[in-house]
Amino acid sequence: MGVDPGLTRCGLSLVEGGAGRAVTALDVDVVRTPADLDLAERLLLIAESAEYWLDTHRPTVVAVERVFSQNNVRTAMGTAQAGGVIALAAARRGIPVAFHTPSEVKAAVTGNGSADKAQVTAMVTRILGMQRAPRPADAADALALAICHCWRAPMLARMAAAEKQAAAAKAAYEKKLAQQRAAHRARTITPGATR
């Protein structure tokens, strides 16, 4: 499940990854909340929509856009809060949550980490074989997040496994080294000691 968080418009999508880089769109929607509503009410509407999606579609993972940096602090805060309520809803259901920066998503989908929204939408449309481009852009962004995760997750899992294996090898080496040092110290006779 891909999530493009936002207070005014929050994109939600569901894709299914296949062999290789095959990805199929299953559902996409945009949750809208009125700007004149209290912040808590807006977050509640987003949370309820996300919970409906999580309970209906039962995704295996939720990919949320990580708020990286924005000039407008108020927009950044709203985006982070919307993403947070969705991440919380997923965590309560035991569904793993992955966060991807906008540049990671753009690079995965278009090959260019600074691609514009039109390029992302065009590539999402092409990758998913859609007849029409998903609208509004929040829908395309949510699909892009899901595609990005499908394509990056295997690599990230391999990297995590390699890091775990390297850490285990390092720990085993350090343990062996410590044992050798201890054995060497035990064999060394200190001055003035008797046999």
Domains (ranges, CATH) in the chain? 2-157 (3.30.420.10)
Q: Which residue has the tokens 């969705």?
A: 86
- Contact indicator for 144, 65 with CB cutoff of 8 Å: no
Among residues 29, 138, 163, 174, the one annotated as catalytic is 138
Catalytic position from the list 51, 65, 104, 163: 65
| Residue 4 marked as a ligand binder | yes
Q: Are strands 2-4 and 9-17 parallel, antiparallel or unpaired?
A: antiparallel
CA 78 to chain CA centroid, Å, is 18
pLDDT (0 to 100) of residue 69: 63
Task: Output the pLDDT for position 145.
Answer: 96
Q: Would you state the torsion angle of the CA atoms of residues 160, 161, 165, 171, taken in this order, to the nearest 10 degrees?
A: 40
Q: What is the pLDDT of residue 65?
A: 92
- Residue type at 8? T
Contact criterion met (CB below 8 Å) for 124 and 134: yes
Residue numbers in the chain where pLDDT is lower than 70: 68-72, 154, 156-157, 160, 189-195
Active site residue 163: no
- Our measurement of the distance from residue 10's CA atom to the centroid of its chain's CA atoms, rounded to an integer in Å, reads 16
Is residue 104 a known part of a binding site? no
Residue pLDDT, tens place only, 151-169 = 887 676 677 677 888 888 8
4 catalytic per annotation: yes
**What CA–CA distances, in Å, run from 55 to 17, 70, 92?**
20, 32, 11
Q: What is the pTM of this model?
A: 0.78
- The whole-number pLDDT of residue 194 equals 52
Element (H, E) at 15: strand 9-17
> Does 55 show up as a binding residue in the annotation?
no
pLDDT of residue 193: 52
Q: Which amino acid is at 182?
A: A
pLDDT recorded at residue 190: 55
Cα(162)–Cα(85) distance, rounded to whole angstroms? Answer: 32
Is 27 annotated in the active site? no
Output the pLDDT for position 157: 64
